[in-house]
Amino acid sequence: MQRIGVRFDKAVNMEPHQLTEYARQELELRGAESRFCYSTPCGGGEYEVRDGNVHFPVRIDTRRCGCGVWQVSGIPCKHGLRVIYNQRLSPEDFVFGYFKGAAYKQTYAEHMHPMPDPSQWPEYSLPTINPPGIKRSAGRPPKQRKRNAMEAKKRKRHTSVKCGKCKEMGHNARTCKNGAGSSKAPPKQRAPTKKRKASSDGASTSKAPPKGKRSKQA
């Protein structure tokens, strides 16, 4: 609000063809840089400006330069200013109208008016307007947002699969064909049982007779 008010007061005293402060500073800066440029008239309103080892074509009647700065910024570049100074012309006449007092006045013709505090607002007996009610649609609510037609489809986080058997990409261990036969581990062999040794007192280590059968007496 404060910045717009200051520019509103400045626009009142500006002349229609007066340059803005930004355009005036740019002209001074580019004018100082144009001292190192050299222009050569080519006839027909065309000029060739040499800036170091680079040559730029310039036409002041159409306000165009080979560097493109004049066309983009609306303020003559250093090459155009070199031609304007050699022709004893005024640089202000070649600045676009957007940087002059007439356009500045139209831009800041209105300013922001101060607003009183809400405690000073007049009271009105008006009905309270509530927001519209929310109606839940049928079905399960979606968890993912609807993507635009130009957006790429959502993919998995890991697009490549590596097999745990053959260590190759493109398939998993369940669908592996390369290491299907060699991946199975050989069956475990049972350790051989050790025979019981005879005790020191000469007792037999043979098994006891089964129950229910009595040994024959000699």
**Of residues 106 and 155, more confidently modeled:** 106
pLDDT tens track for 18-28:
888 899 999 99
Does residue 110 sit within a domain? no
- Asked if the structure places residue 83 within a domain, the reply is yes
* pLDDT score at 16: 85
Q: pTM value?
A: 0.51
The tokens of 99 are what? 């940087």
DSSP 21: H
Q: Does a structural domain hold residue 58?
A: yes
Least confident of 39-53, 96-110, 128-142, 188-202: 188-202
Q: How many domains is the chain built from?
A: 1
> Which residue is listed with tokens 């002041």?
60
- 161 burial (CB, 10 Å; 0-12 / 13-18 / 19+) is middle
Position 212 confidence tier, pLDDT thresholds 50, 70, 90: low
Q: What is the pLDDT of residue 37?
A: 93
Does the residue 64 lie in any domain?
A: yes
Predicted confidence (pLDDT) per residue in 146-172, tens digit: 888 888 877 766 667 888 888 888 888
Report pLDDT digits (tens) over 65-93.
999 999 999 999 999 999 999 999 999 99
Q: Is residue 201 part of a domain?
A: no
- Other beta carbons within 10 Å of 99: 21
User: Could you count the other beta carbons within 10 Å of the beta carbon of residue 40?
Assistant: 12
Average pLDDT, the chain: 81
Q: Is 125 contained in some domain?
A: no
DSSP lists the bridge partners of residue 49 as 39, 56
DSSP assigned state of 162: B
Q: Where are the beta strands (DSSP E) in the chain?
A: 37-43, 46-51, 54-59, 64-65
Distance (Å, rounded) from C-alpha 72 to C-alpha 186? 79
Asked whether residue 40 is domain-assigned, the answer is yes
Range of the domain at 76: 21-97
Residue 183 has pLDDT above 50, yes or no: no
Contact residues for 163 (Cβ-Cβ < 8 A; gap 6+): 169, 170, 171, 172, 173, 176, 178, 179
Tokens of 80: 């155009």
Q: 179 pLDDT band (50/70/90 cuts)?
A: low
Position 25 in a domain: yes
Model confidence at 119, pLDDT cuts 50, 70, 90, reads confident
Proportion of the chain above pLDDT 90, given as a percent: 32
Encoded tokens for 93: 């006449």
pLDDT of residue 106: 86
Under a CB-based contact definition with an 8 Å cutoff, are residues 20 and 100 in contact?
yes
